[in-house]
A and B are shown apart, each in its own frame.
Chain A
Amino acid sequence: MPDTAASKRFTVPIGPQHPALKEPGHFEFTVDGEIVTNAYVRLGYAHRGIEKAAESRNWVQNLYLLERVCGICSHIHGFAYSLAVERLANIEAPPRAQAIRVIVAELERIHSHLLWMGVSAHEAGFDTLFMYSWRDRETIMDVLEGLTGNRVNYSANVLGGVKFDVTPTQADIIRKGLTFLEERTKHYLDVIMHDTMFLQRTRGIGVMTRSQAEVMGALGPTARASNVQRDLRVEAPYAAYKDFPVQMVLDTRGDLEARFEVRINELFESYRLINQILDNLPEGELNVRVPRRIPAGEMIVRLEAPRGEVFYFIKSNGTDKLERLKVRTPTICNMTSVVRLSVGHQLADVPMILAGIDPCFSCNDRTVQIRQADGGAQPNGLSSLMSWEELRQYAIRKYEAR
């Protein structure tokens, strides 16, 4: 083999099939032996063009569309969108609605962090922790289903408020679930801090210093594990966070172990906050009326999703449709850190580093086109596209045929 630079480089493609979270993303790692020397990322395998689709729907329809940006943190997207529309229309949701939105947001954070803990334990080869944490996560899923009617895409928001109330009976069910989880979480904290096998996969791996985290624009628990004070619930409190302050969880070490500890300690903070809000739930209406046409203007909303800051930009042109919507989700910001941090590590550590930021690909890739089953009736050999009405009729037929 000729001794050229190109012949010495070896590229390992990872993905698009589930590099970490059973979601699609493609990475190319150039390796020298076992050590990663360069990394590239290619996304978009789950890109559905939601930003474009939103331009053709009215304000209310968009709420349901945007809740489907992500299956894990669906509430935060509905929350951010409703908040942006309400601010554009210059109205404010009633205090009780604000509190219920925060309760659902925190429940979502708990389920997301537990899900993440399971997945990254699985990446580390610690499947017992994976099974246990996902079993316990079912507690939260049941609570969310009891509260909203759905396990995912809870659809808690309406423009101007929320859709449902939290009754005293439901509050008791939530408290019971949280008490159980608090005990379990103490156990998990003990495991991830003291299990020697697990520490070998996390301690000192993927270290990101504070200045690196700041420069690379890391967000959420990934940034907080590197001691970057970036938590919008504290920096710029919104909704009920103004009345129920949150303690920011920080760590100085910046490695994977710190990211585990920050997320698990955030769980305790979420349990405390939900209990506090349930005990002091403001009385009043659940929603206010929002006009069909929203005044023209631009508005940004930044909320703290489980993975970090989610950024919404909405431009209204004064009609019943929006002019432009931009969604920036936390994973895309944290992805830069994966690509840069992998360099210098063993290839075997890469899945853990990737899992360490809690990547969510459907968030960062953001209409599905459905074709008729007519076997390529179009002149170009493709099947014809289904219209919205055809799709609706198809759904009704399918439902009735069950």
Chain B
Amino acid sequence: MNTEEILTIAEQVVSAWDWTSESVRTRPNQLDVKVTSLAELHPAVVGLRVKRLGFLSAIVGLDLGPEANEMEVLYYFCPGDAAIVLRVRVPRQGATLPSLSDVIPSAEVFERELSEMFGIQITGLRNPQRLYLPDDWPDDTYPLRKDFDPSVLLAAAPAAENTPSERN
């Protein structure tokens, strides 16, 4: 399959039935799909997987800032030279996304990272525990959000941890 064929198939997948998702070619080798309804995310991924375009290269989280009060999640599917991006907008508070790990096993690690770094809850993970952040990381603190303030880490650190008596 060349890049043109890949993108044509991907366009057919995401424009199926009566979906509201819109797709635009932003570059010769890139198809941007705005997933407007969360219910369409999972079927779209299944569709890509069935058409053998299900190589999930990365999931990118973007915090659009407290003013916009929204976050964007980009699912980059990259078969060959092409890139198919599924863009999902979620609110900054109480966002929930379905896990894709039942269709694409490698999505699990990306989703666990997304969840702990941006505070987006992922439903349906085999192991929803933290992947990267330490066990004593304060709750409801998401480091890749724009308004993250590192000083909360100092406040949250247990006082006894680094005292000389403890160390010796």
Contacts and interface: CB of A to CB of B under 8 A. Distances in A.
Interface stretch (A5-13, A75-83, A93-101, A325-333): A325-333
Interface stretch (A37-45, A141-149, A151-159, A394-402): A37-45
16 contacts: A42-B129, A42-B130, A216-B106, A217-B55, A217-B106, A230-B55, A309-B57, A315-B62, A324-B62, A326-B58, A328-B57, A332-B110, A336-B106, A336-B109, A381-B161, A381-B163
A381 B163 CA distance: 6
A380 B105 contact: no
B133 A328 contact: no
Interface stretch (A46-54, A60-68, A180-188): A46-54
Given A43-B132, A235-B81, A313 B58 contact: yes
Interface residues of B, number: 41
B109 A340 contact: no
B11 interface: no
Interface of B: 52, 54-58, 60-63, 74, 76, 78, 80-81, 83, 104-106, 108-110, 127, 129-134, 143-144, 148, 154-155, 157, 159-164
A313 B60 CA distance: 8
Contacts of A380: 154-155, 157, 159
Main secondary structure of the interface of A (DSSP, over half): mixed
Contacts of B76: 300, 311, 313
A327 to B, nearest CB: 9
Main secondary structure of the interface of B (DSSP, over half): loop
A341 to B, nearest CB: 12
A51 B81 CA distance: 25
A328 B58 CA distance: 7
Interface string A1-43: 0000000000000000000000000000000000000001111
Contact of A235 (B80, B110, B134): B80
Contacts of A324: 60, 62-63
Nearest to B101: A336
A196 B129 CA distance: 42
Contacts of A309: 57, 78
